[in-house]
Homo-oligomer: A and B are copies of this chain.
Amino acid sequence: MSQQFASTLLENAVNELSRLPGVGRKTALRLALHILRSDEKNGVALGNAIIDLRRNIRYCDCCHNISETPLCPICADPLRDSSTLCVVENVKDVMNLENTRQYRGLYHVLGGLISPIDGIGPDSLEIDSLVERVNAGDINEVILALSPTMDGETTGYYIFRRLNGSHVAVTQLARGVAIGNELEYTDEITLGRSLLNRTPFNE
């Protein structure tokens, strides 16, 4: 269906909104018309929040989590157990694990998973910096908290091999998480339990 827009401003907003995941052109138009009807203050605040988010976001120099400061609040917290490192795919996973309140160690955010189909190799992820952190000493255990999917397993196996020479124990989340599910959609109780029951990584 070809929509006739009376305004290129509207057309432009609909085009940009429909790039968002799960937002088709009909939904984009509904959102745009909602923005038009609402207070100018709100519309401008939304636009600016998006621009600020994308332009001014920072990442922690150490764990690559989102941060306002060079070192994120978790890495900077002296009460956290700096001998345990939890390796996750993305920022959302840090939030989910923090919400379980079962973990007091530090994190390392990879920024994705190895995915040959999508052309994502180990070099595009924060794996070298993980190995450096581990080799710097002080860490006794690396927990692989990756999705139990093909890409997650591949990435975990790759990291396990890379850490093989070092003295750290490599563990993974207990397989209470249903195989094939995205970590993002796992409920907090299951996630917390699987963290407590983590098992040694074996091939």
Contacts and interface: CB of A to CB of B under 8 A. Distances in A.
Interface string A40-57: 101111111111111111
A interface, over-half SS: helix
A42 to B, nearest CB: 6
Interface stretch (A26-34, A126-134, A143-151): A26-34
A202 interface: no
Interface of A: 1-10, 12-13, 15-17, 19-22, 27, 29-36, 38, 40, 42-58, 60, 65-68, 72-74, 90-92, 94-95, 98-99, 188
B53 A3 contact: no
A6 B54 contact: no
Contacts of A27: 22
